[in-house]
Amino acid sequence: MADNTVGRPPLLLLCSAQFMLALDFAIVNVALGGMQRDLGFTDSGLQWVVGAYALFYGGFLLLGGRAGDAVGRKRLFVAGLSVFTLASLLGGLATEPFVLIAARALQGLAAAAVSPAVLALIAAGFPEGKERVKAMGVFGAVSSAGFSGGVAAGGLLTEYISWRAVMLVNLPVGVVLVALAARRLTADHHSTRATRLDVPGAILVTSAMCAFSYGLTVASDEGWGARTVIVSLTAGVALLLAFLVVQTRVPAPLVPLSIFRNRSLSSGNGIAFLSGGVMSVSTFFITLYLQQVLGYSDVRTGLAFFPQAFVVFLASVPVIRLTEKLGAPRTLAIGGVVLTAGSVLLAQVTAGSSYLLVVLPGGVLLGLGVTVMMITTAVAATSGVSGPQMGLASGLYNSSRQLGVGLCLALGVAVAGIAHGAVRAIPIGGFQAAFWFTGALSAGIVAVSVLGLRGTAPRAQEGSAPATSADGSGVPAEASAPAV
């Protein structure tokens, strides 16, 4: 039975859920100090408040996206959002470190179901062209604003209420969103082909992603030479290779490898990886610079990120219009240049640098560039993909971005020369090296935009997605690259 495209979904509802997920990803970082003081975390244990979320979110994203294709995206969205809300309550009431870590792991698992479902519902509900560009623009702007605003909100909530507020704030929002989703979202019909889930492939790729996520989380604390890191990353590579072999031999693979012939999708995922790295490394080191070098408190650190969040809000509509006018390739290249400029400016920091003259303008440029990435990369990564494969494309996009966040942050820590346990005493040269590293990642975005997306249509045209191949891979039947 062919896949039936769902009607146009309520965009505000879906983007509100995405905002909550993005906010939660960033909001916890500023509250770590309060969690450690209240629950008695050790330094090594504290990393798992963030690491447990990253492990389960990154590990199950691809499976979550494919599950949406199989069982229905509305079902997965409502179920995942319900679990996320309950996990937030559990974390907010935690009295022991292991309870908070378990709650964060459950949040990550739920987010791995919700996030691909949100993107897939939007992509399936809005036809390719200007309508999808505008919808993805709202999605990307909300994601970027949630991430930027999360740092600011975390500082305010922790300072004036409690670290528990950063968890419990999800409770009323989640309850309302679940109730609205149950009533407003149209049940989508999945294909019988999609329901034949590739169980061996699912186990292999999920295990590989978990191994990578675990290794990268530990690497930022123990160093790349640690036995645990080497074993985890080696296992991840072996499992991923085994997964690729399986995908070529099963009749209904979890990830049809032919989907990567879609150059827009492949390049979009590469840019998502790099931009995720820029976002995570820059936020991490700006936060540490403000607190360690400039001596900012948690709340002042949060307020220092408000201009960046405000720029995201102001730039969203112009970026959507720019993408409509120039197309994804050129817009992404411009965004990469802006990110590079922001990184180079931040790389000039010294022990006596001014927030107003260096950190603020550098952060604003990064916020502007990240807005371009969040809006336009989603357009490229879902271009030319058929309805039955939209969850898969969404899972790939989110997985690429999450891998970029984890891998590049671990590399950034290594580039900064942070030894085990020395994150509280980073030399100024370490900050400079980290920002030069984000500059290199940003230059990579420019290169992929110019070379990888070269030949795709320069403007988003009205109309439906191109016809797709008979194998259900979601790859356009035409040999040329899909329009962006």
Consecutive H or E run containing 322 = helix 306-326
pLDDT at 346 over 60: yes
Nearest to 193 by CA among 465, 422, 392: 392
pLDDT at 361 over 60: yes
Q: Check residue 350 and give its pLDDT.
A: 92
Reported as a single tens digit per residue, the pLDDT across 176-199 is 999 999 988 887 655 444 456 677
User: Of all residues in the chain, what percent carry a pLDDT higher than 90?
Assistant: 27
Opening angle at CA 389, ends 182 and 114, nearest 5: 35
Burial of 199 (C-beta count, 10 Å sphere; 0-12/13-18/19+): exposed
Residue 472: band (very low, low, confident or very high) from pLDDT cuts 50, 70, 90: very low
Q: Which residues pair with 195 in a beta bridge?
A: none
Question: DSSP strand E in 19-147: where?
Answer: none
Question: DSSP strand E in 34-161: where?
Answer: none
Chain-centre distance of CA 211, in angstroms? 18
Distances (CA, A) of 92 to 31, 50, 79, 84, 477: 12, 15, 20, 12, 50
DSSP state of 470: T
Radius of gyration of the chain (CA): 21
**Residues 110, 268: Cα–Cα separation, whole Å:** 24
Look over the chain and give the mean of its residue pLDDT values, rounded to a whole number. 81
Burial of 440 (C-beta count, 10 Å sphere; 0-12/13-18/19+): middle
Reported as a single tens digit per residue, the pLDDT across 365-402 is 998 998 898 888 888 887 877 666 777 888 888 888 88
pTM: 0.78
Burial of 19 (C-beta count, 10 Å sphere; 0-12/13-18/19+): buried
**Residues 12, 15: Cα–Cα separation, whole Å:** 5
pLDDT at 303 over 70: yes
Q: Check residue 193 and give its pLDDT.
A: 44
Question: Please, are residues 298 and 30 in contact by the beta-carbon 8 Å criterion?
Answer: yes
Taking residues 408-413, report their average pLDDT.
82
**Residues 219, 409: Cα–Cα separation, whole Å:** 10
